[in-house]
A = this chain, B = another copy of it.
Amino acid sequence: MEPSFVEKRPRGRPRKTAQDRDDGNRRQLLISGAARLFRQKGFDATSTRDIAAEVGMQSGSPFYHFESKGALLYAVMEEGMRSAIAQQAGELQKHEHLRQDPRGLLAVLIGNHFNVLLGPGSDFIPVMLYESRAITASQRALLATLQGEYEAPWVPVLQALHDAGLLRADVKLARLMIFGALNWSVQWYDRRKGATLEQLTQAAMALFIQNPPP
């Protein structure tokens, strides 16, 4: 039998080095640890003690970096949105040659969105999607601005597809339903089995987009 007072963390708490004092290092660690737990167990079911333990801190220490548990949740969401916006912009730039091909552009947007939702390190946006009840109205308003920024490139693409007869539904409702179809994948997609993200993208395109008229 091991004595019960052995430390669970190897070598006790992390050593303090000059690096550690480097401002936002620990703060970032808290944000990503919180994102992981919020996604796994939900916001309410995750205690600030859980989060502290996840990153090797004592129970009161998260409050040195964040005013409140809610502020930490909001930080997760905001960081998720900002990085998703940047990632999407990068993909669009990489495929700039598709500028006149709304079909190809939609495939790029959908593929990237699946990556944001289900790819590696993809805890932030699912948390934002499924925990928005837990933030304040003014935080929700701030996030809505970022969401508008994220959705902005989709609008002309969907409109062009509509005009070309490749997307028959009302553009606004189509956008809401397409995002629903994609966002829901968080509930059922299993990385280890089933389709790849590319196959998901192809299926989505086949589902939403009409056969080009001959």
Q: Of residues 166 to 214 in A, which have CB atoms within 8 Å of B's CB atoms?
A: 167-170, 173-174, 176-185, 187-188, 195, 199-200, 203-204, 206-208, 210-211
Residues of B within 8 A of A188 (CB): 176
| Cα of A117 to Cα of B204 in the assembled complex, Å | 23
Copies of this chain present in the complex amount to 2
| Cα of A130 to Cα of B195 in the assembled complex, Å | 24
Q: Indicate if the CB atoms of A184 and B179 lie closer than 8 Å.
A: yes
Q: Indicate if the CB atoms of B133 and A41 lie closer than 8 Å.
A: yes
Residues of B within 8 A of A167 (CB): 207
Q: Indicate if the CB atoms of A173 and B44 lie closer than 8 Å.
A: no
Query: A90 interface residue, CB < 8 Å from B?
Result: no
Which of B45, B168, B173, B181 contacts A177 (CB under 8 A)?
B181
Give A185 Cβ to nearest chain B Cβ, in Å.
Answer: 7
Give the dominant DSSP class at A's interface: helix
| Cα of A178 to Cα of B168 in the assembled complex, Å | 16
Known contacts A180-B182, A184-B179; is-contact A207 B174 (Cβ 8 Å): yes
Residues of B within 8 A of A182 (CB): 177, 180
| Cα of A180 to Cα of B117 in the assembled complex, Å | 14
Give A208 Cβ to nearest chain B Cβ, in Å.
Answer: 6
User: Known contacts A168-B207, A176-B185, A207-B208; can you find 17 more A-B pairs with CB under 8 A?
Assistant: A42-B133, A42-B134, A44-B45, A168-B211, A173-B199, A173-B207, A176-B184, A177-B181, A177-B182, A177-B204, A177-B207, A180-B180, A180-B184, A183-B184, A207-B207, A208-B208, A210-B211
The 9 lowest CB-CB distance pairs between A and B, nearest first, are: A180-B184, A44-B44, A177-B181, A169-B206, A173-B203, A169-B207, A168-B206, A181-B181, A180-B181
A-B residue pairs in contact (CB < 8 Å), sample of 22: A41-B133, A42-B133, A44-B44, A45-B133, A130-B130, A168-B206, A168-B207, A169-B203, A169-B204, A170-B203, A173-B200, A176-B184, A176-B185, A176-B188, A177-B204, A179-B184, A180-B180, A180-B184, A180-B185, A180-B187, A184-B184, A207-B208
